[in-house]
C-alpha cells in the first residue's frame, strides 16, 4: 500500500513539470472532442439502432402495445450514453499510451532512475497486442456486468473495477517496455499483481471527479511508471 501511495504522490508532484504540463490535457480533451463530434453526427442513428433492438424483444413489443414506446426511446438514449462513456475512457487511454507515455517514461526514468539499465523487453507490436487484448476483455466485462448496474451499488462500483483492470493492463506494459527484459516483466507481474490492481482502482476514481478527470490519463501514466520502475529497481537489487 505504501508503495502505491508513493507512486501516486510522485505522479501528482510531476504534474507540475513543464514537460508534463504540455501534454497533460491532450488525452482526455482529445477523446472528448472525438466522441462529441461522433455523437453529433451519429446520435440519431445510434439511438434508432438501439431502439430497434429493444423494440424487437418481448418486453419492447409489450411496451409499445401499452403505449409506452416513449420509454423505449428513453432507454435507447440511456444505452447510447452507457456505451459512449467507456468508449471515451478507452480512447483517452489509447491517446495517452501513444502520445503521452513515451514522454512520461522518459521523464520519470531520466529524473528518478537514471542508473536503471534498459532491458528493452517491450515492442510497439507487443504494446498494440496488449492494448487490443485489454480493451477486448474490458468491453466484455462492461457488457456482462451491465445488468448489475440496476442494483444501484453496481452502477457506482462496477465501472471503477472494470476501469481498474483496463488501467493496469495498458499502463503496466508501457511503463516497463523500455527498461524490463521479458523475463523481468513476467516476474514483475507475478510480484506486483495486487499493487497494480490497487493503483488501477485508485486512479480510476480520478475519472469520477470533475476537472480532475481531465488530468487522470496522464496522472495514471505517471503513477504506474513510478510504481513499476521502483519495483524493477528493487527486483534487480534483490538479484
The string of DSSP codes covering 4-34 is HHHHHHHHHHHTTSHHHHTTTTHHHHHHHHH
Residues 6+ apart with CB under 8 A from 14: 20, 107, 108, 222
- Which residue, chain included where needed, has cell 472532442? 33
Structure confidence at residue 85 as a pLDDT band (50, 70, 90): confident
What phi, psi does 132 have (nearest 5°)? -60, -45
What average pLDDT does range 173-196 have in this prediction?
86
Query: In the prediction, which pLDDT does 177 show?
Result: 86
Q: What pTM value is reported for the model? A: 0.85
The sign of the dihedral angle between the CA atoms of 110, 113, 114, 116 is negative
Tell me: pLDDT of 181 over 90.
Answer: no
For 127-170, the pLDDT digits (tens) are: 889 899 999 999 898 888 877 776 666 667 788 888 899 999 99
What average pLDDT does range 185-199 have in this prediction?
88
- How many angstroms from the chain centroid is the CA of residue 219? 11
For 212-236, the pLDDT digits (tens) are: 888 889 999 999 999 999 998 888 8
Residues 6+ apart with CB under 8 A from 46: 39, 80, 83
Query: In the prediction, which pLDDT does 111 show?
Result: 87
Tell me: pLDDT of 180 over 70.
Answer: yes
d(CA 150, CA 107): 43
Amino acid at each position: 500500500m505504501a508503495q502505491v501511495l508513493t507512486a501516486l504522490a510522485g505522479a501528482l508532484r510531476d504534474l507540475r513539470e513543464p514537460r508534463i504540463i504540455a501534454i497533460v490535457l491532450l488525452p482526455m480533451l482529445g477523446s472528448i472532442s472525438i466522441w462529441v463530434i461522433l455523437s453529433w453526427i451519429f446520435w440519431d442513428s445510434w439511438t434508432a439502432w438501439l431502439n430497434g433492438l429493444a423494440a424487437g424483444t418481448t418486453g419492447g413489443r409489450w411496451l409499445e402495445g401499452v403505449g409506452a414506446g416513449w420509454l423505449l426511446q428513453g432507454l435507447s438514449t440511456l444505452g447510447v450514453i452507457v456505451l459512449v462513456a467507456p468508449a471515451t475512457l478507452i480512447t483517452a487511454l489509447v491517446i495517452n499510451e501513444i502520445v503521452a507515455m513515451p514522454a512520461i517514461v522518459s521523464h520519470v526514468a531520466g529524473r528518478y532512475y537514471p542508473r536503471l539499465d534498459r532491458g528493452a523487453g517491450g515492442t510497439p507490436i507487443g504494446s498494440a497486442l496488449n492494448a487490443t487484448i485489454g480493451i477486448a476483455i474490458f468491453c466484455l466485462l462492461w457488457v456482462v456486468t451491465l445488468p448489475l448496474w440496476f442494483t444501484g451499488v453496481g452502477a457506482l462500483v462496477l465501472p471503477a473495477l472494470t476501469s481498474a483492470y483496463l488501467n493496469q493492463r495498458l499502463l503496466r506494459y508501457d511503463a516497463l517496455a523500455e527498461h524490463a527484459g521479458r523475463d523481468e516483466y513476467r516476474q514483475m507481474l507475478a510480484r506486483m499483481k495486487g499493487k497494480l490492481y490497487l493503483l488501477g482502482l485508485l486512479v480510476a476514481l480520478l475519472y469520477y471527479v470533475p476537472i480532475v478527470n481531465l488530468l487522470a490519463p496522464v496522472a495514471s501514466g505517471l503513477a504506474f511508471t513510478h510504481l513499476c520502475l521502483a519495483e524493477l529497481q528493487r527486483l534487480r537489487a534483490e538479484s
